[in-house]
Structure 1
Amino acid sequence: MRYNKQGLFIRNLKMVVDWTNIEARVLDYHSFDDLLAEKTLGVLWEIDRVRSEKNAIILAHYYQIPPIQMVADFKGDSLALAMKAKEIGDKDLVVSSTVHFMAEMVKLLSPDKKVVIPSSDASCSIAEGINASVIQRIREEFPKAAVVGYINTTATVKAEFDSVCTSANAEQVVQRIPGKEVILVPDHLFFRNILKKVDDGRRYLTYEGVVGGSIVLYDHFDDSEFRFPLNGTVAPLLDKGTCIVHEDFTPEHVKEYRRREGVDLVLAHPEVRTDVAELADKVGGTGVMMKFLKDSSAQRVLYLSECDLAVPLVEAYPSKKFVTPCLLCPYMKKNTLDGLLYSLREEVDVVDVDAEVVEGARRSLERMFELTA
């Protein structure tokens, strides 16, 4: 590898990505000094070289660190990644630079592919707030109810759902799934915001968590709580399934940025608190935010989501100014550039799904696609 007089790499191999663009972005990145930029470019180049050798594809979520998003073949939100996972094509190896439940989803939808993840510790607070045993216990109390589960769950939990949904399609799935009673699990903040748009006379119950040995559901039909004992059911790792990033945004954040930055548009992820969502101009997942901006004349935008969503936002709308309190997901940040290179080169941290849950988990994912077709 050689450098030209500007310090950029000169390569003789045919690479996968547009290096002129990547080099310019890395060198211009505000948090990189020259030494870090040079090191980062070296790792990115090696990732690109190994990817070509192994006929691999790199998928990355919008919350990954900027260099990972830069080098990824495809980046997107959960729904976009799910759709892409069905279209891997002739690639031999998939690197899912996401959290673990998303990597499982890739494996479920591309079962013949080898899938690896940069860090097997990249979990999710929503996923840690629910387990399959709790879903089974809920079904004992509501045997005729339809159960819709958020995509931010493990494959074992997805196998217990009637359908999965994402932040981009939850409203469609919730309204189209049959049943007089619909139970939504987790996260309850997310579903409370979604249900503000749903008024079809049915009974909706959201999973609030486990409190004092009891499972708590909130009944939106009569504005009341419904509690029943675990009865020996193993409790989840966390007592509630909410996003530790999105639940930390406050109404004060919105008011401060409107005053200090003069923002003319506030975008909020549906996992935020309901009092925050009420102050937003648009509530939707990351993909919804991206599409909404296409027809918006707003120039100063506050987005209430993970800080590194700035990467695709600025890339798509360079003339707009984006501001945020910059809250970072510690789970997403477990994936590092060096970790990505190692998992790609050594094909370690392989993602597999237990055979006994594959059919059920894949069924709930496919049901989501059917309901939103």
Structure 2
Amino acid sequence: MSVVQEELSLKDRVLQLKKEKNAVILAHYYQEPEIQEVADFIGDSLELAKKAAATTADIIVFAGVHFMAETAKILNPTKKVLLPDLKAGCSLAESCPPEAFQKLKDQYPDHVVVTYINCSAEIKAMSDLVCTSSNAEKIINSIPADRKIIFAPDKNLGKYLIDVTGREMLLWDGACIVHEAFSLDKLIDLSIEYPKAKIIAHPESESHILQVANYIGSTSGMLNYVKTSDYDTFIVATEAGILHQMQLDVPHKTLIPAPAKEDNSCACSECAFMKMNTLKKLYDCLEKEGPEIRLEEELIEKALVPIKRMLEV
């Protein structure tokens, strides 16, 4: 059997199992193309949270990273939530340990705590509001002007929000290694090579990258910008997995991944955690109904409060 035939048969088996078990597969844009192709829904963190909250499936298979599957479990405490590889973590989430964050909270008890959804369930449970890159500006603007704010864990997104909202915020010193991997020098060289290209960037990127971007937005925002723009060439500064769906949306346009500081196989920035999930692991976890995300009931109840507030806003 050829590799192509084997891959096709594996996809067919995933689709069959999904139907038999009344399961739904939610996949992030940064997943491998073959996983995106079997998913019921592909989206960014906000879109996936909404889909997880609304699903009627018995089993949720989350093709993403650990904090995303945790969010799905918080929103669906009675459903079985599976993650193809439990080691698929997140450098940003891991940069904010609960014990250390509690110490910061204790120092500033009068501050409203807003956390980016890219954090652990424990950090969400310590929060007043959760946000995503899609709705972060709206969430910050919903907080009364006289209230002080702690924003965690992403300092780059926090700096961007300070710029666009004019609010002063106390920022946790965390960052995503993927979005800090872009080389400004290489990006400028690339823009000289493609002078008509528009640079689009995720707000988790460093300030010097955002300063040269023509558009800054969430994963879904970037997709919409490329689809609706009159321009036909784009340099994309976010995880390279987005290029699969983006190219499907705009097959006639030219998409160029923003170059990374380090030389690697794709000369772009990829999330090693996202790429830990494979189609085979997805099939195995659906067949065995594991690994399963398990959270204590008390933790779920506490973490659900700020997520619900976000969805209401």
Report TM bin, short chain.
over 0.9
- Between Structure 1 and Structure 2, how many residues are aligned? 303
Deviation (angstroms), 1:292: 1.7
Whether the aligned pair in 1 keeps the contact of 2:66 and 2:83 (CA below 8 Å) is yes
Q: Supply the AA of the counterpart residue of 2:136.
A: A
1:353 and 2:295 are equivalent in the alignment = yes
Deviation (angstroms), 1:195: 1.8
Deviation (angstroms), 1:311: 1.2
Deviation (angstroms), 1:38: 2.1
Tell me which residue corresponds to 1:142.
Answer: 108
Tell me which residue corresponds to 1:9.
Answer: none
- Out of 151, 162, 180, the residue aligned to residue 117 of structure 2 is 151
Whether the aligned pair in 2 keeps the contact of 1:262 and 1:300 (CA below 8 Å) is no
Q: What is the alpha-carbon distance in structure 2 between the residues aligned to residue 43 and residue 95 of structure 1?
A: 16
TM-score (normalised: structure 2): 0.93
Whether the aligned pair in 2 keeps the contact of 1:115 and 1:351 (CA below 8 Å) is yes
Whether the aligned pair in 1 keeps the contact of 2:77 and 2:300 (CA below 8 Å) is no
Tell me which residue corresponds to 2:263.
Answer: none
- Identity value in percent: 36
Q: What is the alpha-carbon distance in structure 2 between the residues aligned to residue 363 and residue 139 of structure 1?
A: 17
Q: What is the alpha-carbon distance in structure 2 between the residues aligned to residue 101 and residue 139 of structure 1?
A: 21
Q: Supply the AA of the counterpart residue of 2:68.
A: M
Q: 1:128 to 1:263 in 2, by over 3 A?
A: farther
Per-residue CA shift, 1:213-243, capped at 9, x if unaligned? Answer: xxxxxxxxxxxxxxxxxxxxxxxxxxxx211
1:207 and 2:172 are equivalent in the alignment = yes
* Secondary structure of 1:307's aligned partner: coil
Per-residue CA shift, 1:246-288, capped at 9, x if unaligned? Answer: 1011222321221223452111011111001000001111011
Q: What is the alpha-carbon distance in structure 1 between the residues aligned to residue 94 and residue 102 of structure 2?
A: 16
Tell me which residue corresponds to 1:39.
Answer: 6
Whether the aligned pair in 2 keeps the contact of 1:290 and 1:313 (CA below 8 Å) is yes
Q: What is the alpha-carbon distance in structure 2 between the residues aligned to residue 45 and residue 256 of structure 1?
A: 44
Tell me which residue corresponds to 1:183.
Answer: 150
Aligned 1:60-139 pairs, distance under 5 A: 60-89=27-56, 91-139=57-105
1:253 and 2:218 are equivalent in the alignment = no
Deviation (angstroms), 1:330: 0.5
Aligned-residue RMSD, C-alpha: 1.4
Tell me which residue corresponds to 2:264.
Answer: none
Whether the aligned pair in 1 keeps the contact of 2:24 and 2:61 (CA below 8 Å) is yes
Deviation (angstroms), 1:182: 0.5
Q: 1:145 to 1:298 in 2, by over 3 A?
A: same
Q: What is the alpha-carbon distance in structure 2 between the residues aligned to residue 114 and residue 247 of structure 1?
A: 34
Deviation (angstroms), 1:43: 1.0
Tell me which residue corresponds to 2:286.
Answer: 344
* Secondary structure of 1:197's aligned partner: helix
Tell me which residue corresponds to 1:29.
Answer: none
Q: What is the alpha-carbon distance in structure 2 between the residues aligned to residue 140 and residue 49 of structure 1?
A: 51
Tell me which residue corresponds to 2:217.
Answer: 284
Tell me which residue corresponds to 1:331.
Answer: 273
Q: Supply the AA of the counterpart residue of 2:279.
A: L
Tell me which residue corresponds to 1:275.
Answer: 208
1:198 and 2:165 are equivalent in the alignment = yes
Give the gaps of 5 or more residues in structure 1.
Answer: 1-33, 209-240
Give the gaps of 5 or more residues in structure 2.
Answer: 260-267
Whether the aligned pair in 1 keeps the contact of 2:45 and 2:68 (CA below 8 Å) is yes
Q: What is the alpha-carbon distance in structure 2 between the residues aligned to residue 311 and residue 352 of structure 1?
A: 31
Deviation (angstroms), 1:177: 2.0
Q: What is the alpha-carbon distance in structure 1 between the residues aligned to residue 142 and residue 4 of structure 2?
A: 49
Whether the aligned pair in 1 keeps the contact of 2:88 and 2:277 (CA below 8 Å) is yes
* Structure with bigger RCO (C-alpha 8 Å, 6+ apart): 2
